[in-house]
A and B are shown apart, each in its own frame.
Chain A
Amino acid sequence: MTNTTLETKSSPNTNTGEAGSLQLTGISKSYGGGNGPLAVDNINLQIKSGEFLTLLGPSGCGKTTTLRMIAGFENPTAGELTLDGEDMIGLTPDKRPMAMVFQSYALFPHMSVYDNVAYGLKLLKMGKKQIEQEVNFALTSMSLLAFADRSPNQLSGGQQQRVALARALVMKPKVLLFDEPLSNLDAKLRVQMRTEIRRLQQKLGITSVYVTHDQDEAMSLSDRIVVMRHGKIEQLAPPRGGLPAAGVGLRGGFHRTGQLPRRRWFHCARYRRDSHGTGQRPRR
């Protein structure tokens, strides 16, 4: 993974996406009518402009639902969501200035790498010349230029992941959303990719919300970590300091609540062990 040229060149796109600040106020979500159990329960969060915030927690804790509500794929049952003071509730995902990187990458299999990255820009009715500049810039910065004409399924998992990232970044979104983007990669690649994501994010200063169940990933990436459980925020802390010593920190953190059933934790721990080498997290 040779590094990005972002440091030396500047993007030709004049419309530099300003980093946005997100405000979640009393966000709740219940499936199956208004009275069902709450998948997300009264989340209050202020995400500062340019901040990298991670939602961390075991499966079923509501972190992905929260992310999908920010993106607009789910509608909150209650609560407010604003971006730079602008109300987002009721806006369809395509109207929100955000871009998402999916766990399954969700590359369009019938388009070349180039067309995948150019897709969103074409929808903006940008000129061909400018699209070419933007896409080439994004592909170069991800060391993907050589693969521009390939079909996504001719690429390795790591390359596919970088295409997905380039496709989101090229949009210059105000907020970048990550839904466990690294969980389909092998352990070594995962470590490489998270360094890369962090560097890009800091370089571009894009506000980012990142969902993961992997504690190490959260620690190495984030400005702040939100630990979720049962749809609620359990802890909110910078990666070091607020939590007990790194490595065992979150495990201890979960335990001390005294309410978490052991079986539940085992579930989470299994994923964690997976994250250190062997298997992959089963896809949603």
Chain B
Amino acid sequence: MNELALALGAAVDRTPDGKFLLTLQFAKPGEFAAGAPEGGKGKVSAPVWVVSATGKTIFEAERNLAMQVSRHIYWGHLIVLIIGEKAARHGVREVVSLFLRSPQPRETMWVMVTEGEAKNLLMSQPGLEKSSAQAIGFLARSKAGYSVELKDFAAMLASKGGEPIASRLGSLKMVTTPSLGQKTPVEEVRITGVAAFKDDKLTGWLDPSETRGLLWLKGEVGKGVVTVPCPGKPEKQLSLEIIRATTKVIPEYRNNKVSFTVRLMLEGDLEEEQCDENLTKPETIKAIEKELRKDVKQKAELALSKAQGEFKADIFGFGEAFHRAHKREWRMLRDNWNEEFARAEVRISVKAYLRRTGLLTKPATLRE
């Protein structure tokens, strides 16, 4: 164990001369032990070490990198694979090949795509965690965006009825606080949406609100917040927490035309309101539910129009749903599915229910 260099994060970029730039983030085990100096005085070294090397293939880059690393590189604990924008636009099949083929890296590592250079994200130093790879891992697990594990990413790549997507990562410069002993600005990584692929090439980005729409259409919402304007008072807002959400995609094939009906259902609890509605009245509840329906439908349509219009790529996996329902027709359509998808009519219907209003029915701070 003492002879291993534990890689926590890997970043793959493309150099201008068409080579791969592999960056690995290694943990310095001494810094992770209990009782290791926790920041503050006497701390000179970062808990991780970031090294890069280039090569014609990623494996060659890894060999070149091994010449700088005194220990045996160990991939078994790799948390995250970040693909730089350039490499992603060039095609990711050749990137994931090594990580799937080699026995050491896990299929459960997160796959992320970043704008610009992926290397920079591994260099960033997070505030809470000791390494940015761990920070990204925890972010991914909290399902802030659409987090994809390597095995799912590979499955999406292999599927004809759905294009791959992965989380989009950005970084955020934090201000320096010298009082806390920080000398250089802390850079925090954050999830900024979703990267959409067409075949294995990056084709565009979805921003956070489009990502919500994507999650609705993929049926991956689970939890989250919906903020809608108060009924009758558009300048005030209401926030609900989603406690249950379901998505049903019903594919149809009539007169050589593909169409989909998507039925969304959500149940939510009211968490915060800025207006002073009387929530004991059924009409008020009905009105809020109407606003909810409007909001969810609008977000879903936003994502849909981007996928059908701008990307012409089925990032929702509707093809798989179509395949399940119409096996025979699928065989004719599968080879140019993306065009069919772009032409398809998608009807979205939303049912929304406000289930509980928390401990209050009226704002407690209201003067009667």
B is a partner of A: no
* Residues on A facing B (Cβ under 8 Å): none
* Residues on B facing A (Cβ under 8 Å): none
